[in-house]
Structure 1
Amino acid sequence: MSRHALITGAGTGIGAAIAKQLFNEGHNLSLIGRRLEPLATLAETLGDSCKAITGDVTNRQSVEAAFSEATANFGPVEILVNCAGVAPSAPFHRIEFADWQKTLDVNLNGVFHCTQIALGNMKTAGWGRIVTIASTASLKGFAYVSGYCASKHAALGLTRALALETAQQGITVNAVCPGYVDTDIVRESIQGIMAKTGRSEAEALQHFTQSNPQGRLIEADEVAASVSWLCSEGAASVTGQAIAIDGGSTA
């Protein structure tokens, strides 16, 4: 059955992979992000059942406007994928409060705004799927990304609480928790490590793969496949879960 899926952070990386997966399954898509260009490029590639909408998940009015436009295009949002995120890195004692606040605003408050707005229509319809792209950093700690870990742990707590609130309303609420994914962000980080340390690309890549027992980066399509399943009728009894896609690193 075709549903209306709204995906935040949809322009690149994991968000774009999720958009392609859900599009191939016949859903109507609203792609939300701060930069129109990558969203519009993807929407043009996918076709008329996909619309690009600018929106800032940290701003309630911006989110409300984006949802209003999305609803005008395809009707109420039935599937929400919270994918927008930031991951700054610094030792805790050097974190500026503004950077800490931005991380919480995007990774936690953005999930709050989008989920709260989407939930009303889902309750009315008696059907809904909410999936938040969390991280293995929502399951364990990592050095030098304390703000990211704090925000992702909180987003997972919100997921579990909301799953209990909506358990009898035809709505499921889950989190997908990938390890390091082969995206532009990781590739840029690899180049940064090479520039700062003089390491080879293979040595820099090992920084990201050594925690994965499979010894590799996760593919964005693997994350998208898990999101697709959680949005399906076959996953109707799966709610409040943190699905780790990490090669066994949190086993």
Structure 2
Amino acid sequence: MSGPLAIEGRHALVTGGGSGVGRAVALALAEAGIAVTICGRRKAALDAVASENARISAIAADVTDEAAMVALYQQAEAARGPIDIVIANAGMAGSAPAARTTLADWQKTLAVNLTGAFLTVKPALAGMAARKAGRIVFVASVAGLKGYAYVAPYVAAKHGVVGLMRALAAENAKTGVTVNAVCPGFVETDMLEESVSRIVEKTGRSAEETRAALVASNPQARFIQPPEVAAAVLWLCSQSAGSITGQAISVSGGETW
């Protein structure tokens, strides 16, 4: 690929790459000529995505395990060279009133969404700074920009991701490394379907009523599609976005800005 993107030949890591947004991002990067390493906990799902494009390779790893992430970097970089692009996408969500949220649920949500995001990018920071080049993109959420009822741990974690992004952007502003976040609204993925199922179980509403209530938060009256998030990520990784850093870009049909 030539022109403003000009990112072929690089090596990217995408966490949570076995489905949904992570899969879409991995495929978009691979189609742009980038060697992509995807990780997640479900090896079979990762292998299925890797089979879709020869530039994608899969390594099973848990983003909440620091030693596992360090080992992932060592294995991936030994095979394919330094990681130039990191997409911290792995996440999970649950729902409950704050008063009924257990400490275990709180800690698990923050471990995956916030601590996992930090452990995903930490091994890349020194090398990127030394090479004076790199792209870091966190897949956050509109829940990192506003509050939502019944998902306090998730909102807190995603606000933390946006804060982490801004801190790293400030720290790396003179290094040539850019750090940004994309903040999607409800994306039509397996995670959305899991949310719909939980709401149906807890409220007795039908799946159709639940989906209609969720889609109503989007002024365009539709769910975001994974390739739309991937397109925003791809642009942030490009040469054209070299002056874009410290930004939380809402991909939400106008729900937030």
TM-score bracket for the superposition, by shorter chain length: over 0.9
Q: How does 1:66-145 map to 2 (within 5 A)?
A: 66-145=72-151
User: Partner residue of 1:7?
Assistant: 14
User: Partner residue of 1:182?
Assistant: 188
User: Partner residue of 1:249?
Assistant: 255
Quote the Cα distance in structure 2 between the aligned partners of 1:112 and 1:4: 19
User: Partner residue of 2:5?
Assistant: none
User: Partner residue of 1:171?
Assistant: 177
Deviation for aligned residue 1:98: 1.1
Corresponding pairs, count: 250
Q: Is the 8 A contact 2:15 2:22 kept in 1?
A: yes
Query: More deviation in 196-205 or 9-18?
Result: 196-205
Quote the Cα distance in structure 2 between the aligned partners of 1:93 and 1:181: 27
Q: Is the 8 A contact 2:18 2:45 kept in 1?
A: yes
Quote the Cα distance in structure 2 between the aligned partners of 1:204 and 1:101: 27
User: Partner residue of 1:26?
Assistant: 33
User: Partner residue of 1:238?
Assistant: 244
**1:216 aligns with one of 219, 222, 226:** 222
Q: How does 1:20-59 map to 2 (within 5 A)?
A: 20-47=27-54, 49-59=55-65
For the residue of structure 2 that corresponds to 1:142, the secondary structure is coil
Deviation for aligned residue 1:194: 4.2
User: Partner residue of 2:208?
Assistant: 202
Quote the Cα distance in structure 1 between the aligned partners of 2:158 and 2:195: 20
Q: Which runs of 5+ in 2 are unaligned?
A: 1-7
TM superposition score normalised by structure 2: 0.94
TM superposition score normalised by structure 1: 0.96
For the residue of structure 2 that corresponds to 1:161, the secondary structure is helix
Deviation for aligned residue 1:200: 4.0
Is 1:146 the counterpart of 2:148 in the alignment? no
Deviation for aligned residue 1:189: 2.8
Q: Which runs of 5+ in 1 are unaligned?
A: none
Deviation for aligned residue 1:101: 0.7
Aligned alpha-carbon RMSD (Å): 1.2
Deviation for aligned residue 1:224: 0.2
Deviation for aligned residue 1:250: 1.3
